[in-house]
Chain A
Amino acid sequence: MTRTALLLTGLLAGVLAPLAHAQTPADMLAAFERDARKADPAFKGFSAARGEVFFRSTHGAQWSCASCHTDVPVQAGRHARTGKTISPLAPAADAARFTDPAKVEKWFKRNCNDVAGRSCTLTEKGDVLTWLNSLHP
């Protein structure tokens, strides 16, 4: 392949890749709902109230979600250990949040291990996202 062709392919991939994966936080929540209904036909829906409680509580470890993302995640957070500023988690305050499924799964994996010492359940993830989607600055 010529250098120009390689460059063009690279540029196209750079432009198209984000589009192929781009989702809205509502799409992401709808996908969680579909998965939950598939796993349990009697699924009754996610709960923002449960999500809020989960987010602010500890689960057997030192940190809760709120330790880094604050109790009111429409505001910027701060990493509990390093002190680095973290952009707000609620999509209404940071439009890039919950738009990339791979990134969302990566962070649920990392942070659920830190906060709960295990993976989060689909219900926990759906509850938290339902609550986050309901927040406004």
Chain B
Amino acid sequence: MKTIATAAALVLCAAGAQAGDHRFGPANATYRAECGSCHVAYPPQLLSAVSWKALLAGLDKHFGSDASVDAAAMKEIGDYLARNARTPRNGEGIPLRITETRWFVREHDEVPAATWTGSAVKSRANCGACHTQADNLDFGERSLRVPK
């Protein structure tokens, strides 16, 4: 039985993406290099493929910044995001910000308003301010440190 449990755990680890325990890694290296400098390389599992496609289509004007990538990187990143995207939710439209999804709002409903606006966090896009392992796509409770 123990062997079966160990084998099952190994399979689960290898699968990587598990929304349940908030660990989504490891990320594709090109995705991380191209999309993980200005912000955390957000877990692909947090948006649907339609949303990722819409975001990639506008990278030259990405929330006011030029985040364009070359054609080879675009192909690799697009495939990676589409492969790992979540299924669209009924009636959610095409969200372009993870922070506006119902999932994000629900997960963060205990965070006080002052914490969001404080200088340590500054923006809801700044995952790493509290999720100290966000760069490794690990958003588990164990590495969570909310700044005072």
Contacts and interface: CB of A to CB of B under 8 A. Distances in A.
Contacts of A111: 66
A84 B66 contact: no
Nearest to A86: B37
Contact of A81 (B40, B60, B65): B65
B123 interface: yes
Interface residues of B, number: 20
A137 interface: no
A114 B123 contact: no
Contacts, number: 43
Contacts of A114: 64-66
Interface residues of A, number: 13
B8 interface: no
Contact of B123 (A81, A85, A86): A81
Interface of B: 37-40, 60, 63-70, 121-123, 125-126, 128-129
Interface of A: 79, 81-86, 106, 109-111, 113-114
